[in-house]
Structure 1
Amino acid sequence: MGGGKRNIAVRFFGGAGNYTDVLEQLCTYVLTENPTEAGAFEWVKANTRATSDEGIRDRLAFLESIGLLELEPDRVRLTQRGIEWLSETNPEILYELLSSAVYGFDTVLEALLDGPKTDDELGDAIKAEHSEFDWNDASGPAQHRGWLQSLGYVERTAPENSLTESGRKLARRRSSEHPQLERGEFYAQTELEDAFDTSFGSYIKGISPRTDDEGALSYIILKAREGGPYGDEIDGERFTYIGEGVPEKGDQRLTGANSALLEQADRSTVPVYFFYQPADSDELRYEGLVDVVGAERVSLDERMVYRFTMDRLEIEPAEFEALSESVSDDISDDETDEPALTDDEAEFTEVQRRVRSSAFPKTVTSAYDGRCAICGNSRESPAGTIDIEAAHIYPKRANGRDNVRNGLALCRLHHWAFDTGWLAVADDYRILVADRPDLEGYEEFSHLENESLTLPADEDLRPHATFLAAHRDRHGFESP
């Protein structure tokens, strides 16, 4: 067992499915009371059924081994990650601590993606994945499963276990293979080909879009070379990058590489990995992810080029993916709950907001299959781009949420009409038209009155009544 990583998790107090409830109470006590180790033991005895000092010691030592607590005889304290988990009660923080310290958690999630499994079958999956150690504790899989139940990722109908919806989302993210790269480290091309499981040919180009098995854009490799032909300025948190096309070939063309970056300037749909190659080295230094925040075609040195503006992102690929996915997360588990119209200002950092905001258009237009929810049309430009836009129902300028249920896919005309208050939508998804026959434009929209929206087949992606009502209220529509 290398690096001190454990083969088996240690159960906690409260029983499978309730570990985190008791753990949250314990962490609150530790944070507020600064107890000694003896004080922590007494708290556990007073608040759980535990009576054995040895059992309590094992469980607290496990929390220390995963990086949640620090144990000293004269004081027990929360680590910084422990404080983060307690303040946010975000199950992914605790999952990350568990999976980093104990083998098998990702294996269990991946196995359950294929369907329900018994504890024994989960043990077989861990044994097959980690042949480097002997899996000989029959209780091991149940302890893994107990933590996953407590985190809300697994539900159990004996004798089988299955993933919850949040567990399925996490499993899909964890099973997607992101390259393991360290910022500031240098990598040879062969090492990067291994990391990305791809071939770059004779050399890695400046812009290398990579696609998945179905031909969809998966990620982009971006390289700046010292002394290269483009004069890129890469210092600072924001920098410029010149597109593909060397000076000898004249004006830069809209190649596939330039098109891929232009798409990212419109909306961040995939990770963009940025590398820098010094003039005296064949290796590339990894600089982290970047966001394409702007693009323009400008005159430079007597030719037309694509100039992209980049911001460095202080997040990892898995977080980028998670933030993009969060745009389509359910707003509420209970339809009787009224969702907030706006995001909590403290909920996301500036970078996280930008990634979510960039993902919003793609998520919404994809939910509506690239068609206008009002007229049902899907217009294309001569260049083949679909001219459908993602509209916030409760407006972005009022901090409206970047969530698919606060969105409608609309053509430009109906986007304008919706934003200006010519059109609104009833809770039953009927189109409402402003009663202003005296104004020019009324005749253009009046025939839409009481027509039904074209909606996503998935009910969880359809507009939420709370946002529709807020839009009607902003524009003076009476509740139908």
Structure 2
Amino acid sequence: MGRQKRNIAVRFFGGAGNYTTVLEHLCTFVLTENPTETAVLEWCRSNTRATSSDGIRRRLTFLEGIELLEVDADCVRLTQQGLTWLSETDPAVLYELLSDNVRGFETMLEALLDGPKTDAELGAAITAAHPEVNWTDASGPAQHRGWLQSLGYVERSDGVNSLTNSGRGLARRQTSTYPALERGASYTQTDLEDAFDTSFGSYIKGINPRTTDEGELSYIIVKAREDGPYGDEIDGDRFTYIGEGVPEKGDQQLTGANSALLEQSACSTVPVYFFYQPADSDTLRYEGLVDVVDTEYVARDGRMVYQFTMKNLEIGPERFKALMESVSGDIEEDEPALTDDEDEFTEVQRRVRSSSFAKTVTAAYDARCAICGAARESPDGTTDIEAAHIYPKRENGRDTVRNGLALCRLHHWAFDSGWLAVADDYRILVADRPDLEGYEEFAPLENESLTLPTNEEQRPHATFLAAHRERHGFESS
């Protein structure tokens, strides 16, 4: 977010438990009326119990501090995050703004995971976790709690605070860590259910995709059996694994489990844990994380099956996560390096980063072409949007979102071939070649603006844009 975190939240109008209701009305007024600061002060006096201009301004300053509003004397407006929250009224959006800009919210939820607590006990937990806070206002913890109450994460009874179901889910996600599994060690089903905090039912199936509370894929557990029906061939660090669907059911179908592994062969996005069960044992031996390097739908033993080629990653889940996140980090240098250090990553680590680059860039542009704004889909539902490196991958261009553009196939080709480039102010430039076929198609794009990510920290960096222009003979811009 780029700002130093605040030590204390500021209570809002409406009383604890009702902050968000009043806030939604205020944001709607700001969006529809484009008011001055004076008009907002008057709205607050008319629609809340507030009477003090200084008190109202203190609350507006807080909303500006968490990047929900932009406040000027002549105009108060919603930030992009404010527009997102108002359109969705998703508590998670507002919670992220609060926790990103104010210390203690995560600590308070984690403390309540251990059981109900008073405001004073919650304040003590924050003080222990953040000694730099140095509480001077005894009501400080109550102001944090008031926001969590209003978001529906905390409930209060007889002066004691507890987590709601949604609050407990959020707290668990915040504190979740990867299970401490030892490669080569054997585990019972109960051991693994405890480690992953999940239930596998009566037995662990061959392919087990697991999702977050929001329905997003979180990780996959794959099990091979020595005496299984599929004839999985486990030999060394690279092996063949047959998908879900027993022989008596004929050709294998693209089930949810098979789809999950198929997606990982195209783009590694989540950890895939691999276990092997010997024929004479009820336990499963952990073989480590694997990469799904290839998928084929082939004829085998008289039927069609999904045949996955897997390879041991030789890295743990924490390293996997770090590699995934490294492509979306901020670039703070004025002139960042154009290329990655070739010796820094192994072949597998480069694959993980490359997959993360594709996913991060596409998501940043909402799966739309940055040049034409299209979000085309093929008849089978595949989105015709690709993640393009600005400074090319073949030159070891960096896998970072700021060296990327989401482009449709046509404009990806045009950008890579030098028909198109981008100025530092994100205007589209067209090669001055009216003698060549294709010029008339691209010429109308001249000086049009790119469609950019709403998050400024994900927009193309000028260093990469300049290097691309230089490679293709465009004048400095």
With structure 2 as the length reference, what TM-score do the two structures score? 0.65
Q: Does the CA-based 8 Å contact 2:240-2:310 persist in structure 1?
A: yes
Closer, same or farther in 2 for the Cα pair 1:279/1:399, shift >3 Å? same
Pick one of 332, 345, 350 that aligns with 1:348: 345
Please state how far the C-alpha of 1:128 moved relative to its aligned partner: 9.4
Closer, same or farther in 2 for the Cα pair 1:198/1:423, shift >3 Å? same
Q: Does the CA-based 8 Å contact 2:127-2:133 persist in structure 1?
A: no
Please state how far the C-alpha of 1:143 moved relative to its aligned partner: 9.9
Task: In structure 2, give the amino acid aligned to 1:331.
Answer: I
- Counting matched residue pairs gives 344
Pair 1:116-2:103 in alignment: yes
Task: In structure 1, give the amino acid aligned to 2:462.
Answer: A
Correspondence 1:271-310 to 2 at 5 A: 271-310=271-310
Correspondence 1:358-369 to 2 at 5 A: 358-369=355-366
1:268 matched to which residue of 2? Answer: 268
Task: In structure 2, give the amino acid aligned to 1:249.
Answer: K
Correspondence 1:80-91 to 2 at 5 A: none
Q: Does the CA-based 8 Å contact 2:274-2:287 persist in structure 1?
A: yes
Q: Tell me the distance in 1 between the aligned counterparts of 2:335 and 2:172.
A: 29
Q: Does the CA-based 8 Å contact 2:222-2:273 persist in structure 1?
A: yes
1:318 matched to which residue of 2? Answer: 318
Pick one of 415, 419, 426 that aligns with 2:416: 419
SS of 1:447's partner is: helix
Closer, same or farther in 2 for the Cα pair 1:318/1:114, shift >3 Å? farther
Please state how far the C-alpha of 1:365 moved relative to its aligned partner: 0.4
Task: In structure 2, give the amino acid aligned to 1:385.
Answer: T
Q: Does the CA-based 8 Å contact 1:368-1:456 persist in structure 2?
A: yes
Q: Does the CA-based 8 Å contact 1:431-1:449 persist in structure 2?
A: yes
Pair 1:370-2:357 in alignment: no
Task: In structure 1, give the amino acid aligned to 2:397.
Answer: G
Please state how far the C-alpha of 1:467 moved relative to its aligned partner: 0.4
Task: In structure 2, give the amino acid aligned to 1:207.
Answer: I
SS of 2:281's partner is: coil
Please state how far the C-alpha of 1:202 moved relative to its aligned partner: 1.9
Please state how far the C-alpha of 1:117 moved relative to its aligned partner: 4.7
Q: Tell me the distance in 2 between the aligned counterparts of 1:423 and 1:144.
A: 51
1:401 matched to which residue of 2? Answer: 398
In the TM superposition, what whole-angstrom CA distance separates every residue of 1:55-111 from its partner, at most 9, and x where no partner exists? xxxxxxxxxxxxxxxxxxxxxxxxxxxxxxxxxxxxxxxxxxxxxxxxxxxxxxxx9
Q: Does the CA-based 8 Å contact 2:211-2:218 persist in structure 1?
A: yes
Q: Does the CA-based 8 Å contact 1:298-1:304 persist in structure 2?
A: yes
Q: Does the CA-based 8 Å contact 2:104-2:130 persist in structure 1?
A: no
1:71 matched to which residue of 2? Answer: none
Q: Does the CA-based 8 Å contact 1:268-1:358 persist in structure 2?
A: yes
Please state how far the C-alpha of 1:254 moved relative to its aligned partner: 1.3
SS of 1:258's partner is: helix
1:455 matched to which residue of 2? Answer: 452
Q: Tell me the distance in 1 between the aligned counterparts of 2:341 and 2:183.
A: 31
Q: Does the CA-based 8 Å contact 2:298-2:304 persist in structure 1?
A: yes
Q: Tell me the distance in 2 between the aligned counterparts of 1:422 and 1:302.
A: 50
1:49 matched to which residue of 2? Answer: none
Q: Tell me the distance in 1 between the aligned counterparts of 2:199 and 2:113.
A: 29
2:237 matched to which residue of 1? Answer: 237
Pick one of 419, 429, 432 that aligns with 2:426: 429
SS of 1:468's partner is: helix
SS of 1:262's partner is: helix
Task: In structure 1, give the amino acid aligned to 2:355.
Answer: S
In the TM superposition, what whole-angstrom CA distance separates every residue of 1:451-475 from its partner, at most 9, and x where no partner exists? 1110000000000000011111111
Closer, same or farther in 2 for the Cα pair 1:282/1:344, shift >3 Å? same
**What are structure 2's unaligned runs of at least 5 residues?**
1-97, 116-124, 138-170
Please state how far the C-alpha of 1:348 moved relative to its aligned partner: 2.7
Q: Does the CA-based 8 Å contact 1:173-1:318 persist in structure 2?
A: no
Pair 1:474-2:461 in alignment: no
2:462 matched to which residue of 1? Answer: 465
1:187 matched to which residue of 2? Answer: 187
2:141 matched to which residue of 1? Answer: none
Q: Tell me the distance in 2 between the aligned counterparts of 1:362 and 1:448.
A: 26
Correspondence 1:27-106 to 2 at 5 A: none
SS of 1:440's partner is: coil
Closer, same or farther in 2 for the Cα pair 1:476/1:228, shift >3 Å? same
Closer, same or farther in 2 for the Cα pair 1:268/1:122, shift >3 Å? closer
1:201 matched to which residue of 2? Answer: 201
Q: Does the CA-based 8 Å contact 1:184-1:286 persist in structure 2?
A: yes
Q: Tell me the distance in 2 between the aligned counterparts of 1:368 and 1:127.
A: 37
Q: Does the CA-based 8 Å contact 1:207-1:222 persist in structure 2?
A: yes
Closer, same or farther in 2 for the Cα pair 1:437/1:237, shift >3 Å? same
Pick one of 420, 439, 443 that aligns with 2:440: 443
Task: In structure 1, give the amino acid aligned to 2:315.
Answer: I
Task: In structure 1, give the amino acid aligned to 2:103.
Answer: P
Closer, same or farther in 2 for the Cα pair 1:397/1:203, shift >3 Å? same
Please state how far the C-alpha of 1:447 moved relative to its aligned partner: 1.3
Task: In structure 2, give the amino acid aligned to 1:262.
Answer: L
SS of 1:205's partner is: coil
Please state how far the C-alpha of 1:409 moved relative to its aligned partner: 0.6
Greater CA drift, 461-470 or 223-232: 223-232
Task: In structure 2, give the amino acid aligned to 1:393.
Answer: I
1:213 matched to which residue of 2? Answer: 213
Q: Tell me the distance in 1 between the aligned counterparts of 2:443 and 2:239.
A: 49
In the TM superposition, what whole-angstrom CA distance separates every residue of 1:99-152 from its partner, at most 9, and x where no partner exists? xxxxxxxxxxxx98794259xx9899889969xxxxxxxxx9999868xxxxxx
Q: Does the CA-based 8 Å contact 2:388-2:406 persist in structure 1?
A: yes
Correspondence 1:105-184 to 2 at 5 A: 115-117=102-104, 175-184=175-184
Please state how far the C-alpha of 1:158 moved relative to its aligned partner: 8.4
Q: Tell me the distance in 2 between the aligned counterparts of 1:341 and 1:398.
A: 9
Q: Does the CA-based 8 Å contact 1:173-1:321 persist in structure 2?
A: no
Task: In structure 2, give the amino acid aligned to 1:116.
Answer: R
Q: Does the CA-based 8 Å contact 2:110-2:175 persist in structure 1?
A: no
Q: Tell me the distance in 1 between the aligned counterparts of 2:275 and 2:426.
A: 48
SS of 2:274's partner is: strand
Q: Tell me the distance in 2 between the aligned counterparts of 1:244 and 1:330.
A: 40
Closer, same or farther in 2 for the Cα pair 1:446/1:244, shift >3 Å? same
Please state how far the C-alpha of 1:208 moved relative to its aligned partner: 1.1
Q: Does the CA-based 8 Å contact 2:127-2:135 persist in structure 1?
A: no
SS of 2:445's partner is: coil
Closer, same or farther in 2 for the Cα pair 1:114/1:476, shift >3 Å? closer
In the TM superposition, what whole-angstrom CA distance separates every residue of 1:417-441 from its partner, at most 9, and x where no partner exists? 1111111111111111111222222
Please state how far the C-alpha of 1:302 moved relative to its aligned partner: 2.8
In the TM superposition, what whole-angstrom CA distance separates every residue of 1:217-247 from its partner, at most 9, and x where no partner exists? 1111111111212221222121121111222
Closer, same or farther in 2 for the Cα pair 1:204/1:340, shift >3 Å? same
Please state how far the C-alpha of 1:354 moved relative to its aligned partner: 2.1
